[in-house]
Amino acid sequence: MKLWVLGARPRTLGVGVTPVVVGTAAAEHATALRTLGCLLVALGLQVGVNYANDYSDGKRGVDTAARVGPVRLTASGLKSPRAVAGAAAVSFAVAGVSGLLIARAAGWWLLGLGAIAILAAVLYSGGPKPYASAGLGELSVFIFFGLVATVGTAYVQAGDVRAQAWWAAVSMGLLAVAVLVANNLRDIPTDTAVGKRTLAVRIGDQATRALYRAVITAALVLPFLGWLAGQMPVGALLALAAIPLAAGPLRTVGYARGPELVRVLLGTVLMLVQFGVFLAIGLWLS
């Protein structure tokens, strides 16, 4: 069981859960059951994509002994490819069943959105032409871990979407992008060696570091801009309390190499969670 937990990459699960919390706070009203349903969808999708990525990269030979980061179940031989693929399928099934219950309460069209999300998760590193290798991973993460997770949750809760949910969704999406950018920055040497053409590989080391700084900065500034525009309440400014936590990763990314970039990655996840929690509290108080 411990290996399955490690394979799910638990230290990054806040990337999927936090936008649901923020979307719930951004909604005009919310219920505990719908919140639970959205959380199960988010966790099912994220754990599923982690297992699917483990399976696909292991089968393709992308994950090698030189790769730094979490345990790879398939590539290391700790679990069979069939077992890892099965774990991904079970995770997606949890997301699907939860999504079915949500759709029954909030609108059947949400099933189509859920199907697209699962397909995007599978094709991220699977299929004949995985789009992660086409440099499109960051765009997908922005859409599904930012816009869909946050705005979708707000809609499920209240049946409509207020402007503050869109502002919050863009911030959460940008921070999710920062997590992937940090991950792919760490993997540039090994991805290059096996021909995996992520965005980081395509634009190079220094440009990837600059991109990381840019998306972090933009995400942190957006609550203030939303407040200035009159579309976010003053309570949203509480999210700016996450700025001190961003200082460490922003500084470290300038010089970190190899295993040191794991600290940047985990620091980014922690900052995303803190930003989201503070933003959610501010929206609730408002």
Give CA–CA dist 249/77, Å, rounded.
Answer: 33
Give CA–CA dist 123/156, Å, rounded.
Answer: 26
Give CA–CA dist 31/21, Å, rounded.
Answer: 12
Beta-strand runs (E) in 48-144 = none
State pLDDT tens for residues 3-15: 899 888 988 999 9
Does residue 72 carry a pLDDT above 90? no
Average pLDDT, the chain: 92
Pick from 58, 199, 85, 48: nearest CA to 131: 199
Q: Mean pLDDT across the stretch 256-269? A: 91
State pLDDT tens for residues 237-255: 999 999 999 999 999 999 9
Percent of the chain with pLDDT over 70: 97
pLDDT at 190: 87
pLDDT at 232: 97
Contact 56, 249 (CB under 8 A): no
Please count the CA atoms within 13 angstroms of the CA of 4 that sit on its side-chain side. 11
Contact 43, 93 (CB under 8 A): no
pLDDT at 68: 61
pLDDT at 115: 94
pLDDT at 66: 56
Which CATH architecture does the domain made up of 2-285 adopt? Orthogonal Bundle (1.10)
Give CA–CA dist 260/256, Å, rounded.
Answer: 5
List the domain boundaries for the chain: 2-285
Give CA–CA dist 220/198, Å, rounded.
Answer: 25
Contact 37, 101 (CB under 8 A): yes
